[in-house]
A and B are shown apart, each in its own frame.
Chain A
C-alpha cells in the first residue's frame, strides 16, 4: 500500500480548502502515514464477490407530497450569516482582478 507524503498532505489540504501551516504539514504527514498504515489492513479481507454496504437501512426514494411547507424566514437566516447586506448574505469576491 502507498504511503502519504508531505506533498500529498499539502495537495489534499488544498483540495479540502484548509490553509494548513508548515508545522501542521510536518505533523500531519507523519500521523496520517501511521493511520493509513493501520487502516490499509482492510486490504487483507477476501472480498472479491462481496457487495459494498453503504448504509444499514435498505431505503430508497423517500418521497413526500410536493406541497409548500413552512420554512425559515429571510431575516432569521441572515441573522446567522457571518455578513449580511441589503437583505442578502455578503460574500467575498469570487472573481480575480483580471477577470
Chain B
C-alpha cells in the first residue's frame, strides 16, 4: 500500500467516474496511481509495450484544468485507458506486436482511439499482443512474454493478453482488445475479466491493423459488465471511414447491464450448446470448466431463465474453417508490409533489387506464426486448392450461420464455456500449433457468423478463472450484457465480493 495512490487502481470505472466527477480525486491523481503501479508491477507482468508516462500526466492535467474552469465534461473525463497495440494512435508507437513495425509512429488515429479521447479518457499506453493478433497466448509477441496475474507461470490468454494482464493486474481500469477468433473473450476468461466481442460491423475497424478483415472486431475488456457496456457505448456506432460499418443506432447497453444486475431473467430463453462441452462433446474440456459452466447455468435458471439444450452440429467444423479463412485473409492483408512505404526495410545495401529487399524485410520482420499463416493462406488460395480449402471453408461458414439462425428461432441467447481449459502454463503449447488453436474452439462459431458474444467470469477451477460465453443474434449485443450482468450480480452477492478481489491487493 502506498496510500490513496494504490487504492485508486482497484476502483472500477464506474467508481472512478464518480470520484472524478465529484472532484474527490483529480485526473492527475488517478493517472499517477496507475503509472506508479505500472512502474512497480509491469516488470513482473509484461503487459505494456509502451507507457505514455509524461504524456498521460499532461492529458490528465488538461482534464483537471478544464474541470477547474467549469467546463462541461463527460462522465469518463480523466479515466485512464490502455489500448491493444494494434489500435493505431497518432504519434504513439504502434507495433501490432511485430518487429516489422518497430519504431513506427502512425500519422493518424483509429476511430476507437479518437472516440475514447473525445470522451476525455487518458491513454496510459499500448498493450502487448500476439504478433498481428495471431495467437491464443500472447507468446507470439515479437517483444516480450506477458504473464497471468493469477499465476505468473501461466499465459494471460491471447491475442489481447497484454490488455487482460493489465486490467486484471490493476495496471489499467479497462482496455480495448480486438477479437478475430476469440482474442477478447478468451483472455478475459482466463484472467477473470469481462470481455465482449461486438456484432461484426458495429464498432469501426478504421485504424485497427488488419489481420482477417471479415472477422476483426474491437471491443471492451473490463472488470465489470457495466464498465464493458459503458466502453462499448463510447466506441460503437456508425463510422463512414469503415465501409463495413453498420449504420444502425447502438442499443442501450449500459441500461441492459443495469437491468440484468437487478436479477430478473423470467421469460429469457437460454440455449446450452451441446457441441461446446455438452454430452458427447467433452473431449479436451477440463472437468472444472464444465462444472463452473453447469453452476453458472443453474444460477441463470434460478433467476427465472428457461434453459434448454440446443444442437448446432456444424460448430464441429468451425475450427478447421476458421484456420483456413483467417490465414487466407491474413496472407492478403499482410502483403502491405513490403518494406517500401513504412515500417522495416532490410538488406537495402544498393546491391539488391526490390524483390530481394522485400523478401529479406519480411523474413526479418515477421515471426514464425505469422510466416506459417501467410504460407498456409497462400496455399489455401492457390489455383487448384481454392475450392477444396478456402471455398469449402466459406460454405461451412454458411452452415454455422444457419445453425445459429435455427437456434435463435427457439432461444434468446446461447451459452457455453469461453475456453475448454483454464490458462495453460507458458511454453506448454508453443511448438504445437494444433494444440494452441484448440484454445479458440468455443469462441470461433460466433466469430465466423459475425455475432456478438461476451465472456463473464463463472468462478475458479484450481484457483484459476473460468469464463461463461453468452452469444446473441446480430445487433442484439444488449442481451449479452443483460445475461452476463445477471450472473455477475448473483455470484458477487453469493460470494460476498467480486471474483477479481480474490487476486488480492499487491
Contact = CB atoms under 8 A, between A and B. Distances in A.
B395 A39 contact: no
Contact of B317 (A18, A24, A42, A96): A42
Interface string B450-486: 1100000000000000000000001000000000000
Interface stretch (B58-66, B100-108, B188-196, B295-303): B100-108
A62 interface: yes
A1 interface: yes
A11 to B, nearest CB: 9
B398 A56 contact: no
Interface string A77-94: 101111100000101111
B200 interface: yes
A17 B358 contact: yes
Nearest to A41: B320
Contacts of B246: 57, 59
Given A16-B378, A39-B323, A45 B395 contact: yes
A72 B352 CA distance: 30
Contacts of B323: 35, 38-39
Contact of A24 (B320, B371, B434): B371
Interface stretch (B77-85, B162-170, B333-341): B333-341
A93 to B, nearest CB: 5
B375 A91 contact: no
B348 interface: yes
Interface in B336-370: 338-345, 348, 352-360, 362-363, 366, 368
Interface string B278-317: 0000000000000000000000000000000000001001
Interface residues of B, number: 71
Contact of A39 (B338, B352, B363, B389): B389
B397 interface: yes
B200 A53 contact: no
B354 A93 contact: yes
A17 B339 CA distance: 11
Given A19-B363, A20-B363, A92 B433 contact: no
A72 to B, nearest CB: 5
Contact of B379 (A4, A51, A79): A4
B423 interface: no
Given A20-B363, A32-B375, A93-B353, A56 B394 contact: no
Interface string B365-407: 0101001101110111010010011011111111101000000
A12 B392 contact: no
Contacts of A43: 388, 392
Given A13-B375, A28-B372, A57-B201, A45 B399 contact: yes
Contacts of B273: none
B200 A19 contact: no
Contacts of A26: none
B378 A12 contact: yes
Interface residues of A, number: 58
B214 A35 contact: no
B320 A38 contact: yes
B374 A18 contact: yes
A56 B344 contact: no
Nearest to A51: B398
Nearest to B374: A16
Contact of B433 (A35, A41, A51): A35
Interface string A14-30: 11111111001001100
B362 A82 contact: no
A14 B371 CA distance: 12
A42 to B, nearest CB: 5
A4 to B, nearest CB: 7
B320 A39 contact: yes
B395 A52 contact: yes
B401 A53 contact: yes
A53 B397 contact: yes
A50 interface: yes
A57 to B, nearest CB: 4
A80 B105 contact: yes
Most chain A Cβ neighbours within 10 Å, of B317, B352, B358:
B317
In the A-B complex, list the 3 residue pairs whose CB atoms are closest, starting with the nearest. Answer: A56-B450, A52-B394, A82-B345
Interface of A: 1-2, 4, 8-9, 12-21, 24, 27-28, 31-32, 34-36, 38-45, 47, 50-57, 59, 62, 64, 72, 76-77, 79-83, 89, 91-96
27 contacts: A12-B379, A16-B374, A16-B378, A17-B355, A17-B358, A17-B359, A19-B356, A19-B363, A20-B363, A24-B368, A28-B372, A35-B372, A35-B434, A35-B437, A38-B320, A42-B389, A42-B393, A55-B244, A55-B450, A56-B200, A56-B450, A57-B244, A59-B243, A81-B340, A81-B342, A82-B345, A93-B354
Given A18-B375, A39-B323, A50-B398, 14 more contacts: A18-B366, A19-B356, A32-B375, A32-B379, A34-B433, A42-B324, A53-B401, A79-B105, A80-B342, A82-B339, A83-B345, A92-B352, A92-B356, A93-B354
